[in-house]
């Protein structure tokens, strides 16, 4: 079972007061209690220049757990990877933070904060390891709270490795009874896998219901 950290010093504003860009506010800290309070309120952190922003986009992208699209070619690709959970969390976040990637936003502070959440049992990695040479080929990480999994970032070094990790995540979430996979913004990559946009108001309803679901990571 995850360990509940001390509550945040900060009071989170409602997620539906976000501006037109989806920014609810800036500042605060990245303590475990603050991060969990943000996710429970429908927000997630992402830096805006040198300050920390707290985001609640409208629309919000989710991947329905019964709507995952797995093509025949992707299914074949999945067979090239061994999926592991939580065996290389820091390596996954570091790979997602690679400064060579476009639009990088994961700072050392973000890495440290989510590593603390992982140590407390709230943040998890899904890793795709090549069956040919045993190398870490791709993966993703995010935060699991009851029936919610909030995906944060993913990476791949070989074809379809991140998609294989996402397929495994959806299978895991369905198996434990989770009901909501938040992917923040819909990208063309995620759309091919079934991600859809929902209005912020509907996302907050889905979130409230998910937080009442006692789905253990196991």
In this structure, the answer to whether residues 91 and 184 fall within a common structural domain is yes
- Rounded Cα–Cα distance for residues 173 and 159 (Å): 23
The whole-number pLDDT of residue 19 equals 95
In this structure, the answer to whether residues 26 and 77 fall within a common structural domain is no
**Mean pLDDT, all residues of the chain:** 95
pTM (whole model) above 0.85: yes
Q: How confident is the model at residue 100 (pLDDT cuts 50, 70, 90)?
A: confident
Q: What is the mean pLDDT of residues 117-122?
A: 98
The whole-number pLDDT of residue 157 equals 95
The whole-number pLDDT of residue 102 equals 63
pLDDT of 145 higher than 80:
yes
In this structure, the answer to whether residues 193 and 90 fall within a common structural domain is yes
Q: Which residues span the domain enclosing 43?
A: 15-59
The whole-number pLDDT of residue 163 equals 97
The whole-number pLDDT of residue 103 equals 62
According to DSSP, the β-strands at 148-156 and 136-145 are antiparallel
Whether 2 is in a domain gets the answer no
In this structure, the answer to whether residues 51 and 113 fall within a common structural domain is no
In order of 6, 26, 55, 79, 204, the CA distances from 192 in angstroms are 40, 32, 24, 19, 24
94: preceding bond cis by omega (within 30 degrees): no
The whole-number pLDDT of residue 26 equals 96
In this structure, the answer to whether residues 112 and 133 fall within a common structural domain is yes
Q: What is the mean pLDDT of residues 132-138?
A: 97
Q: What's the structural domain count of the chain?
A: 2
The whole-number pLDDT of residue 189 equals 87
In this structure, the answer to whether residues 53 and 109 fall within a common structural domain is no
pLDDT of 119 higher than 90:
yes
Whether 75 is in a domain gets the answer yes
In this structure, the answer to whether residues 22 and 127 fall within a common structural domain is no
Nearest to 80 by CA among 144, 131, 145, 28: 131
In this structure, the answer to whether residues 114 and 180 fall within a common structural domain is yes
Whether 79 is in a domain gets the answer yes
The whole-number pLDDT of residue 32 equals 98
The whole-number pLDDT of residue 49 equals 87
In this structure, the answer to whether residues 124 and 25 fall within a common structural domain is no
In this structure, the answer to whether residues 26 and 123 fall within a common structural domain is no
H helix intervals, 8-152: 32-41, 72-78, 89-96, 108-120
Query: Mind listing the pLDDT tens digit for each residue in 42-63?
Result: 999 999 988 999 999 999 999 9
């Amino acid at each position: 079972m995850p360990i509940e950290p001390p509550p945040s010093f900060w009071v989170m504003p409602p997620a539906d007061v976000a501006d037109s860009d989806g920014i609810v506010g800036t500042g605060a800290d990245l303590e475990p209690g603050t991060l969990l309070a943000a996710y429970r309120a429908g927000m997630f952190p992402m830096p805006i220049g040198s300050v920390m922003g707290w985001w609640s986009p409208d629309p919000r992208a989710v991947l329905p757990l019964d709507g995952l699209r797995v093509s025949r070619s992707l299914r074949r690709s999945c067979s090239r990877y061994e999926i592991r959970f939580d065996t290389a969390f820091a390596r996954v976040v570091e790979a997602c933070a690679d400064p060579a990637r476009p639009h990088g936003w994961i700072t050392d502070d973000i890495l440290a904060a989510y590593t603390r959440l992982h140590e407390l049992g709230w943040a998890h990695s899904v890793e795709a390891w090549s069956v040919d040479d045993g190398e870490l080929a791709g993966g993703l990480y995010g935060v699991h709270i009851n029936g919610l999994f909030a995906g944060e970032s993913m990476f791949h070094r070989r074809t379809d490795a991140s998609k294989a990790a996402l397929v495994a995540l959806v299978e895991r979430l369905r198996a434990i009874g989770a009901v909501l996979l938040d992917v923040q913004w819909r990208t063309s990559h995620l759309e091919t896998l079934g991600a859809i946009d929902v209005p912020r108001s509907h996302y907050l309803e889905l979130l409230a219901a998910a937080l009442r679901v006692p789905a253990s990571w196991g």
